Amino acid sequence: MNYTEEYKRSIDHPDQYWMDQSKQLKWDVSPETAYKEVESGIYHWFPDGKLNMSYLCIDRHIEDGYGKEDAIIYDSPVTNTKEHISYNRLNEEVSKLAGGLQSLGLKKGDTVIIYMPMIPQALYSMLACARLGLIHSVVFGGFAPHELALRIEDCKPKAIITASNGIEIERIIPYKPYVDKAIEQSAHKPEHVVIYDRKLGVDIPYKPYDVDYDALVAKSESATPVSVESTHPLYILYTSGTTGKPKGIIRDTGGYATALKYSMKHVYGVEEGDVYWAASDVGWVVGHSYIVYGPLLNRNTTILFEGKPIKTPNASTFWRVISEHKVKVMFTAPTAIRAIKKEDPNGRYIKKYDMSSLKYQFLAGERCDMATLKWTEQHLKVPVIDHWWQTESGWAMLANMVGIERHPVKPGSASFPVCGYNIHILNENGQEVSDDTEGFVCVKLPLPPGCLQNLWGNPERFKAGYLNKFPGYYFSGDGGYRDEDGYVFITGRVDDVINVAGHRLSTAEMEEVVASHPQVAECAVFGVHCDLKGQKPLALVVLKPENTLEHKTISEEIIKEVRHEIGAVASLRDVVVVNRLPKTRSGKILRKLLRNISDDLEYNVPSTIDDVNIISEIEEVFKQYQIGIHKKISF
């Protein structure tokens, strides 16, 4: 298959292209219309079709004779548990839970919040909701009660499904008390809280609205799939917004199913029956698309992993899982690889395992620096493919589509637009820029199937945030450029571009240079206020454990290299060595928070931060930094 021809067909004839792909699904009512514009800039895919996502992920495979095959492999190093779950067992668990939710009075169109750790019951809950046409909203386990309360108030769930606790390496996270506090804070009160007791000795405070998960399932009849419209919301997934109020991304059913089925083969290169592992969490979009729905739609065994890339028990965990479960394709974030690389710089753990099953290693979630890409290629000895997408898109927007035609990797680039995404790089006036010129990354409408349909209860915010800046286009919020070979490079969020004495500079480009220093494990470069130049860049660096060089020497070498690679205009003069960087639980560095602290601006401590205790220490770092004290800072 030729990528250029396939991509051109998807752009020139999107209606026919995606109607052809939709035939890979088994519809209750097959669509006759590919898409329609319901209002300016808002399109619905397959609006006259009907189907059920839970059926497509489970029942269809059983009907085709694959009931005894593994649907899920649950691997939990934090509890020393491994479990193989067949499609037959998955069907029983999901249909019985769906019957239990029906017995509580839940029906198509009701909303349900799922607040669970990485355990099979989280997947059962998502698929049970999909079975009944309930709209689920998975909230990342361990979010603070206030953040959970915001989501309860916004989507007004009839029920919440939770667990007794989560486990963060050696720390127990008390989910049920968090849920109770969130309900107290919320103006909306759900009717039921269904609790799965993990039986790990955690106290579960009882409330009148509580329902025991196991007891509910035991007494329930199995529920059959409810046919829903293609446009029916499958889920709401909240992502952070610039206003501080979370944005509820709405995902449809038919368009999403079509896109995910397509992506498993054409983007990731997996066939039915292969083992696929997305090392993420069901609370994030990667978990929705590529732990749950994508693999199960394509009859791939999906790995459900409850652990971390390090400390469960060490930096060998990922390689052990790949080897033991014969994973063909893995997907994780660059930050996970960097954590492993820091603990095992020479890749000695990788050599201990048979990695022959692994064909591709995909990376996404943040920009992949060249040092991480090269290290991963060197030690895994398979193609390492960076690709780019968003919570809003639901699946890849830029990728090396290995299932169609694999191209050479260009470090720093997420390769080419995925079929269906008519990507343009625009300037402030909405005009296409020339090659190698940075601009705003946008997608000409209509977006392909699978992308967000709207924001829950806030269509005006949807239009203002994504459609109004460049009429006729979806604005991604990211900057980037296209080179003469057609490769697209994402340089980061447009608010990561700083203005130094009138020069717009990409901090992502500077990070690339800083990260290439042989003693740097990871780094963050961001703009801080400067009375003279408006802004100036500051680099925070974490060094490799084996480093023996003086910090001053490393700082001088980094500054010299940035000047050499980017030029004196970059004005990087300040490099601070720290022991670690503040991150979200999903591994993203909190650059905006760092900027606000350094500039003495008001800020909210995000609930996604991996360690709230770091905030006061960061403030002290910047107090010292601003008076010119440059020395090792221990976080």
CATH code where residue 530 lies: 3.30.300.30
Residue 543 and residue 476 in one domain: no
CA dihedral 59, 63, 66, 67 (to 10 degrees): 60
pLDDT exceeds cutoff 70 at 242: no
Q: Is the peptide bond before 31 cis (omega within 30 degrees of 0)?
A: no
Q: Is residue 352 part of a domain?
A: no
- Cα 298 to Cα 17: distance, rounded to the nearest angstrom: 19
pLDDT (tens digit per residue) in 540-553? 999 999 998 999 99
Number of folded domains that form the chain: 2
Partnered with residue 624 across adjacent β-strands are none
**What is the model's pLDDT at position 496?**
66
Per-residue CA distances from 76 to 79, 80, 168, 312, 316 (Å):
6, 6, 12, 9, 14
Work out the mean pLDDT of the chain and round it to a whole number: 91
Does residue 457 share a domain with residue 509? no
**Interatomic CA distance for residues 505 and 498, integer angstroms:** 5
Looking at the structure, do residues 214 and 80 belong to the same domain, yes or no?
A: yes
Pairing state between β 497-500 and 329-332: unpaired
Q: Is the pLDDT of residue 506 over 90?
A: no
pLDDT of residue 175: 94
pLDDT, position 6: 98
Q: Do 522 and 476 fall into the same domain?
A: no
pLDDT of residue 335: 84
What pLDDT is recorded for position 634?
A: 34
Asked if 183 and 298 sit in the same domain, the reply is yes
| Pair (473, 518) in one structural domain | no
CA separation for the pair 142, 169 (Å, rounded): 13
Q: Which domain holds residue 567?
A: 501-626
Residue 626, pLDDT score: 61
53 Cβ contact partners less than 8 Å away, ≥ 6 residues apart: 127, 130, 234, 253, 256, 257, 293
- For residues 26 and 118, membership in a common domain is answered with yes
Say if residue 462 is in the same domain as residue 555: no
**If residue 525 lies in a helix (H) or strand (E), which one and from where to where?**
strand 520-530
Residues 143 and 215 grouped into a single domain: yes
Q: What is the DSSP letter of 589?
A: B
Residue 321 counted as domain residue: no
Segment 90-114 shows an average pLDDT of 98
Considering the entire predicted model, what is its pTM?
0.85
Place of tokens 């030029």: 567
| Domain membership flag for residue 406 | yes
* SS3 per residue for 220-266: CCCCCCCCEECCCCCEEEEECCCCCCCEEEEECCHHHHHHHHHHHHH
DSSP string, 395-460: S-SEE--TTT------TT---EEPTT--EEEE-TTSPBPPTT--EEEEEESSPPTTS--EETT-HH
Report the DSSP pairing between strands 329-332 and 360-363: parallel
**Co-location of 468 and 528 in the same domain:** no
Assign residue 119 a region (left: φ > 0; alpha: ψ between -120 and 50; beta: otherwise): beta
Q: Which CATH number covers residue 150? A: 3.40.50.12780
Type of residue found at 342: K
Rounded (to 5) percent helix, strand, coil in the chain: 35, 25, 45
Written as six digits, the tokens of 605 are 């401590």
The CA–CA distances, whole Å, from 345 to 514, 546, 587 equal 17, 9, 19
Do 464 and 511 lie in a common domain? no
Which pLDDT band, with edges at 50, 70 and 90, does 603 fall under?
confident
Residues 99 and 185 in one domain: yes
